[in-house]
């Protein structure tokens, strides 16, 4: 337990007890720490209520209590801490009650995470007073009602997640006027037309699935036409009594026959053509001939990369007489490679229902025959003009400054947060590395290559350390977590290990298989020792020392610490992706 005597530390500036096994309650004496600016008690086993005495910590900039078993309502005193500016994270607890009107006092708050609790009620209009808010995550609660019109004043919002609540009414029109980078309103009860301006114009930046009464929007959302859906509901109300009786009387017999027929049909189709059933359900196909023409016969001049199960080509589809047409990236699957067909199916399955601004967008697929009658399979993606992160790190042909690297780290963290917790299923990427992170024209990072991805079942989520019967090693040497090497099932913590190694590689400028790492030394232990000995500046990429070293030193140390904690050998000791996101936001805004 955290001792009551902790309140005697009146001069402590930061209290970080993150990722331990503390249990019991948070002592009320914590309010006596009058000089504290940062309290992180995340990912412990704390329970009971949040003590209202925290409201006495008048210098507090950041409070993280996520990933515990805290219960009860959020004390109003907490929302009267006008000093809170970096972030407030109360996610992944068992908090209940409403969001109090006193939230209006948090005018300087940049990040608010309240996801995965039992909060309810309507959103207070006073939330509009939080004019500095950039990240708002209220997902997986029981909020209801419509979105207050007053929230239109939150012009600084960039990331909004309202998914898995009971919000209703129309999606607010003012959201298209705010410069949002990501909006998730999935699995609510919104109705009416989806807009086509602002964030709504980018299918990869929004999610509206699970709202069955929405219509319109851009074509990529595949929502029904608003006129058609209106007619449908009118017709459904006129369903006659005779039709209802005709359906219901023989229902027991028909249902039994239908169930047997469905099961037979499902398993037969699954055995004979699993890949085709996955593909044809979600994507419009493109012909081999069009791809052959787009890549000038899959010429070496258009080859932009090779991977475990295929090669990637740059192509211009359906170019006109002036050579103008949409540029795409075409991943041609090497069907001679063992496991490539399974990889193709895995990638289709993983990408069929996910959409996020930091994931590479699949446009369509090709499952056909080539000119010689051989099987041909390819995935067609948005083309990323700035190539992969690896090409910017090794060799040093390009230059990424510290702010760009932090931005890329945030983009990848957003993608993992979405895959692990917000896309309907839990998707583990299993192969996170610089070559699978692509940069668009604005240097926004997109995670790609889902050939090794796995969608976890509820059983796998409840037994993350179960030993797998499969002998297949998922991931790439140096980036794959050590537990995969001894046969453990894949888990979200495995992606966090890869993320930590990726972070350290961006900071040190060295690959995890660099020749200097031998005799038990690896990138993680190399950075951990430098952190412990106070020599972080000696291991970072010299490119990062060109600016003001004194200003950057604290930031670099914090970034290395994140990388080391994420790549811990023990899965239980790795950081949660939510913690990483608000740490990075704090550094970016410092």
User: pLDDT tens digits for 356-405?
Assistant: 889 988 888 888 888 888 888 888 888 899 989 998 988 655 678 888 99
Using an 8 Å Cβ cutoff, are 346 and 453 in contact? yes
pLDDT class for 465, splitting at 50, 70, 90? low
pLDDT at 478 over 50: yes
331 is in an annotated binding site: yes
The conformation of residue 247, written as its DSSP 8-state character, comes to H
In this structure, what CATH number is given to the domain that contains residue 295? 3.30.200.20
Give the pLDDT confidence score for residue 341 in this predicted structure: 78
- pTM of the predicted model, to two decimals? 0.56
- The lowest-confidence range among 196-205, 465-474, 523-532 is 465-474
The conformation of residue 16, written as its DSSP 8-state character, comes to E
**Which residues pair with residue 111 across a beta bridge?**
135
Pairing, β 94-97 against β 14-16: unpaired
d(CA 209, CA 191): 12
| Domain containing residue 193 | 4-228
The conformation of residue 44, written as its DSSP 8-state character, comes to S
Across the range 452-470, mean pLDDT stands at 58
- The lowest-confidence range among 128-137, 318-327, 358-367 is 318-327
SS3 label, residue 550: helix
Pairing, β 310-316 against β 14-16: unpaired
Residues 222 and 293 in one domain: no
Using an 8 Å Cβ cutoff, are 495 and 429 in contact? yes
Residues 166 and 19 in one domain: yes
Residue 95 falls within a domain, yes or no?
yes
Across the range 438-452, mean pLDDT stands at 89
Residues 583 and 451 in one domain: yes
Across the range 409-424, mean pLDDT stands at 89
Residue 115 falls within a domain, yes or no?
yes
Residues 305 and 401 in one domain: no
Our count of domains for the chain comes to 3
Residues 524 and 549 in one domain: yes
Residue 254 falls within a domain, yes or no?
no
Q: Please say if 397 is a catalytic residue.
A: no
Residues 501 and 399 in one domain: yes
Residues 371 and 422 in one domain: no
For residue 166, which of 194, 193, 147 has the smallest C-alpha distance? 147
Residues 501 and 435 in one domain: yes
N- to C-terminal Cα distance for the chain? 32
In this structure, what CATH number is given to the domain that contains residue 514? 1.10.510.10
Using an 8 Å Cβ cutoff, are 28 and 48 in contact? no
Q: Where are the alpha helices (DSSP H) in 322-436?
A: 340-351, 389-393, 402-421
Place of tokens 């697929």: 365
Residues 371 and 429 in one domain: no
Catalytic residue among 66, 89, 431, 495: 431
**Which residues pair with residue 306 across a beta bridge?**
311
Place of tokens 């990075």: 584
Residues 414 and 545 in one domain: yes
Q: pLDDT per residue over 405-415, tens digit each?
A: 999 999 999 99
pLDDT class for 324, splitting at 50, 70, 90? low
The alpha carbon of residue 18 and the mean position of all alpha carbons in its chain are separated, in whole angstroms, by: 22
Residue 257 falls within a domain, yes or no?
no
Average pLDDT of the chain?
A: 82
Q: Where are the alpha helices (DSSP H) in 469-576?
A: 482-485, 492-508, 523-533, 549-566
Residues 410 and 498 in one domain: yes
d(CA 523, CA 224): 50
Residues 342 and 324 in one domain: yes
pLDDT class for 260, splitting at 50, 70, 90? very low
Residue 242 falls within a domain, yes or no?
no
């Amino acid at each position: 337990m955290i001792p009551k005597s902790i309140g005697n530390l009146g001069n402590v500036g930061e209290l970080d007890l993150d990722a331990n096994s503390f249990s019991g309650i948070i002592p009320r004496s914590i309010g006596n720490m009058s000089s504290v600016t940062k309290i992180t008690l995340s990912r412990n086993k704390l329970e009971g209520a949040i003590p209202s005495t925290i409201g006495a910590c008048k210098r507090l900039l950041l409070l993280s209590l996520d990933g515990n078993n805290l219960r009860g309502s959020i004390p109003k005193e907490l929302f009267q801490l006008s000093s809170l500016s970096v972030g407030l994270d109360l996610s992944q607890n068992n908090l209940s009650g409403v969001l109090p009107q006193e939230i209006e006092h948090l005018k300087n708050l940049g990040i608010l995470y309240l996801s995965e609790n039992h909060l309810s009620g309507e959103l207070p209009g006073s939330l509009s007073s939080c004019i500095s808010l950039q990240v708002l995550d209220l997902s997986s609660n029981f909020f209801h009602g419509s979105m207050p019109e007053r929230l239109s004043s939150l012009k600084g919002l960039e990331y909004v997640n309202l998914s898995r609540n009971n919000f209703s009414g129309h999606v607010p029109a003012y959201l298209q006027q705010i410069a949002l980078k990501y909006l998730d309103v999935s699995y609510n009860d919104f109705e009416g037309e989806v807009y086509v301006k602002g964030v709504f114009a980018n299918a990869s930046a929004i999610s509206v699935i699970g709202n069955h009464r929405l219509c319109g929007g851009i074509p990529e959302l595949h929502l029904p036409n608003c006129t058609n859906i209106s007619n449908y509901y009118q017709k459904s109300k006129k369903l006659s009594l005779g039709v209802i009786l005709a359906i219901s009387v023989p229902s027991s017999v028909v249902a039994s026959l239908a169930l047997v027929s469905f099961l037979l049909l499902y398993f037969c189709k699954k055995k004979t053509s699993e890949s085709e059933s996955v593909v044809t359900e979600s994507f419009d196909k493109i012909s081999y001939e069009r791809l052959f023409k787009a890549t000038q016969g899959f010429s070496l001049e258009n080859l932009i990369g090779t991977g475990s199960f295929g090669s990637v080509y740059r192509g211009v589809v359906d170019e006109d007489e002036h050579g103008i047409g949409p540029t795409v990236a075409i991943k041609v699957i090497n069907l001679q490679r063992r496991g490539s067909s399974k990889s193709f199916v895995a990638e289709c399955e993983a990408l069929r229902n996910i959409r996020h601004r930091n994931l590479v967008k699949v446009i369509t697929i090709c499952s056909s025959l080539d000119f010689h009658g051989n099987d041909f399979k390819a995935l067609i993606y948005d083309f990323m003009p700035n190539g992969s992160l690896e090409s910017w790190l090794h060799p040093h042909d390009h230059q990424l400054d510290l702010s760009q690297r932090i931005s890329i780290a945030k983009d990848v963290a957003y993608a993992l947060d979405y895959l692990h917790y917000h896309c309907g299923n839990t998707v583990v990427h299993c192969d996170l590395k610089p070559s699978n992170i692509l940069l668009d024209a604005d240097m926004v990072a997109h995670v790609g290559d889902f050939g090794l991805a796995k969608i976890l079942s509820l059983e796998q989520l409840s037994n993350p350390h179960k030993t797998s019967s499969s002998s297949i090693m998922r991931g790439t040497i140096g980036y794959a977590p050590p537990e995969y090497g001894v046969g453990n099932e894949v888990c979200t913590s495995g992606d966090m290990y890869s993320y930590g190694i990726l972070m350290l590689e961006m900071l040190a400028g060295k690959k995890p298989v660099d020749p200097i790492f031998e005799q038990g030394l690896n990138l993680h232990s190399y950075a951990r020792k430098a952190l412990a000995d106070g020599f972080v500046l000696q291991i970072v990429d010299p490119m990062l020392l060109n600016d003001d070293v004194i200003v950057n030193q604290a930031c670099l140390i914090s970034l290395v610490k994140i990388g080391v904690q994420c790549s811990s050998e023990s899965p239980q000791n790795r950081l949660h992706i939510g913690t990483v996101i608000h740490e990075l936001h704090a550094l970016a805004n410092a």
